[in-house]
Structure 1
Amino acid sequence: MKQHSWKHRVRVRSCGVLIENGKVLLVELCSPVVNDWVWIPPGGEVTFGETLEEAVIREMKEETGLTVSVVKQLTSNQVIRPPVHAIEFYFLVERIEGDVELGHDPELEEKDQILRNIGFFSKTDIKTMNVVPQFLIEILDDYLT
Structure 2
Amino acid sequence: MNTLNPNVALYTDKVRLRVCGICIKDDKLLLVRHQATVQNKAFWMPPGGGLQFGETVEECLKREVLEETGLQVEVRRFLFVNEFKQHPLQAVELFFEVVITGGSLMTGTDPEATADQQLIEEVVFLPLEEIRELPLPDKHRVLHYLFSLDDLLGMPHHFLK
TM-score by length of 2: 0.80
- Corresponding residue number in structure 1 for 2:159: none
1:138 maps onto 2:138 in alignment: no
Shift of residue 75 of structure 1?
1.2
- Residues 65 and 99, structure 1, Cα contact 8 Å, conserved in 2: yes
- Corresponding residue number in structure 2 for 1:30: 35
1:87 maps onto 2:95 in alignment: no
- Corresponding residue number in structure 2 for 1:14: 19
CA distance in 2, matches of 1:120, 1:48: 30
> Where does the alignment leave 5 or more consecutive residues of structure 1 unmatched?
none
- Corresponding residue number in structure 2 for 1:51: 56
**2:149 corresponds to which letter in structure 1?**
D
**1:67 corresponds to which letter in structure 2?**
Q
Corresponding residue pairs, total = 144
Q: 1:61 to 1:139 in 2, by over 3 A?
A: farther
- Corresponding residue number in structure 2 for 1:72: 77
Shift of residue 142 of structure 1?
2.3
**1:95 corresponds to which letter in structure 2?**
I
CA RMSD of aligned residues (A): 2.1
Shift of residue 140 of structure 1?
5.2
- Corresponding residue number in structure 1 for 2:121: 116
Q: Which range is displaced more, 83-92 or 61-70? A: 83-92
CA distance in 1, matches of 2:50, 2:29: 21
CA distance in 2, matches of 1:133, 1:33: 15
Q: Which has the higher helix share?
A: 2
Q: Deviations over 1:69-98 (max 9, x none)?
A: 101111111123332221011111000111
CA distance in 2, matches of 1:110, 1:45: 19
**2:140 corresponds to which letter in structure 1?**
V
> Where does the alignment leave 5 or more consecutive residues of structure 2 unmatched?
1-5, 153-161
Counting aligned pairs with the same residue, the percent is 34
Q: 1:140 to 1:77 in 2, by over 3 A?
A: farther
CA distance in 2, matches of 1:46, 1:136: 25
Shift of residue 128 of structure 1?
0.6
Q: 1:76 to 1:33 in 2, by over 3 A?
A: farther
